[in-house]
Amino acid sequence: MDAISETYKLIDKYSIHARKRFGQNFLTDPHVLDKIIDAAGVSKEDFVLEIGPGLGTMTRVLAERAGRVLAVEIDYDLVDILEREIVPLYDNLEIIEGDILKQDVRAIADEYNNGRPIKVVANLPYYITTPIIMELLEKCSGLSSSNCESVKAENTHSDDIVNSSRIIESITVMVQKEVADRMLAAPGDKNCGAITYAINYYSKPYLAANVPPNCFKPRPKVHSSVIRLDILEESPVKTSDETLMFKLIRAAFSQRRKTLLNAISNSAELDLSKSEVSNALTEAGLDPAVRGEKLTLSDFSNLSEILRNF
Ligand code: SAM
């Protein structure tokens, strides 16, 4: 069965017009489909959560390769088509109608996969790429608790790092190329952003493919990339206050032309005076005139350790 031809048949049969407000660009290139599925490395051992199955192009291949697939789709009309045309073909596939940002992914992993880590695969709707990735990383990596535990363990002279409540093993997604470039940048590169630090804190990112606009119907205005994020069981830096560390990172990049001193002391998310920030930067061995993009993840974690005691 050719998933792309089946998708074209459904487009004709149901006179589908892609809905811009849901970021619908249906994949129509078989080689790109293969690349995403290969990059995800799905096998019968895996439970896969697909975000935005659309007309089920990738869903069909996933259901053939994976042990079990759950797909979350926001568009009621597409859910109806999937329930009629695709769900009956597979006994390991379920569709949930809803917004992925409102799903409890941890509860899904518990219910469908006995709490074992799951794989996420998606051709993401581009209007909410960053919120989806951040939500998955923050809520599902399990690093917050493991970091706290590892810091506690250090305080009790134990080298054991307690891990892990990670519930996602990997995230393989199609995103805008510009966002992929930010995700794949090294901290300190010119195109790094707040998301670069989150990606590097929670995962190891890989580029699987670059994809031109003519591989979709309708064609998006931007180029795309497939990336795979392997979720880490241990973060590369330790912090006892992950929330503060990410507030500092967001402050540094929300006003990236400002010096770090001004960006952090002006941040509405942080209640810190200029002299407190200046003292902390000096204690961390950082020049107050430096810009956030020059800092490594470890610089931000050191700074958060110093500032949490202020
Ligand atoms: N997977 C299909 C493919 O590759 O052809 C469709 C990909 S299309 C880029 C994005 C899909 O995500 C659409 O089906 C859209 O309706 C769905 N979607 C948009 N926002 C969503 C949300 N918040 N939660 C779940 N699905 C969403």
Give the pLDDT of the chain (310 residues) as one tens digit per residue.
Answer: 699 999 999 999 999 999 999 999 999 999 999 999 999 999 999 999 999 999 999 999 999 999 999 999 999 999 999 999 999 999 999 999 999 999 999 999 999 999 899 999 999 999 999 999 999 998 777 665 444 333 333 333 333 333 357 899 999 999 999 999 999 998 878 889 999 999 999 999 999 999 999 999 999 999 999 999 999 998 999 889 999 999 999 999 988 889 999 999 999 999 999 999 999 999 999 999 999 889 999 999 999 999 998 8
Length of the chain: 310
Give the integer Cα–Cα distance in Å for 221 and 202.
Answer: 30
User: Distance, CA 202 to ligand 1 centroid (Å)?
Assistant: 24
- For residue 165, the model assigns a pLDDT of 76
Give the atom of ligand 1 at the shortest distance from the alpha carbon of 126.
Answer: 9
Q: Is 22 in the pocket of ligand 1 (CB under 6 A)?
A: yes
Question: With contact defined as beta carbons under 8 Å apart, do 120 and 136 qualify?
Answer: yes
- For residue 166, the model assigns a pLDDT of 85
Q: Whose CA is nearest to atom 22 of ligand 1?
A: 99
Q: Report helix, strand or coil for 217.
A: strand
Q: What are phi and psi of 236, to 5 degrees?
A: -70, -20
Q: Report helix, strand or coil for 36.
A: helix
Give the atom of ligand 1 at the shortest distance from the alpha carbon of 122.
Answer: 1
Q: Is 224 in the pocket of ligand 1 (CB under 6 A)?
A: no
Cis peptide before 304 (omega within 30 of 0): no
- For residue 255, the model assigns a pLDDT of 84
User: Distance, CA 50 to ligand 1 centroid (Å)?
Assistant: 9
Q: Is 78 in the pocket of ligand 1 (CB under 6 A)?
A: yes
Between the alpha carbon of residue 282 and those of residues 246, 278, 290, the distances in Å are 20, 6, 11
- For residue 143, the model assigns a pLDDT of 62
Q: Is 73 in the pocket of ligand 1 (CB under 6 A)?
A: yes
Q: Is 57 in the pocket of ligand 1 (CB under 6 A)?
A: yes
User: Distance, CA 110 to ligand 1 centroid (Å)?
Assistant: 24
Q: Whose CA is nearest to atom 12 of ligand 1?
A: 52
Sign of the torsion angle spanned by Cα atoms 300, 302, 304, 306: negative
Between the alpha carbon of residue 213 and those of residues 28, 125, 175, 177, 187, the distances in Å are 10, 14, 12, 11, 28
Closest residue by Cα to residue 4 from 39, 24, 31: 31
Q: Which residues, in sequence order, are bridge partners of residue 49?
A: 70, 120
- The DSSP code for 259 is -
Report the residue among 19, 21, 24 best suited for mutation to probe ligand 1: largest number of ligand atoms under 8 A from its CB.
Answer: 24
Rounded to a whole number, what is the largest CA-CA distance in the chain? Answer: 66
Give the atom of ligand 1 at the shortest distance from the alpha carbon of 33.
Answer: 4
- A 10 A CB-CB count for 165 gives 16
Give the integer Cα–Cα distance in Å for 144 and 181.
Answer: 26
User: Distance, CA 150 to ligand 1 centroid (Å)?
Assistant: 38
- For residue 144, the model assigns a pLDDT of 52
Between the alpha carbon of residue 144 and those of residues 69, 80, 115, 166, 244, the distances in Å are 27, 38, 17, 10, 12
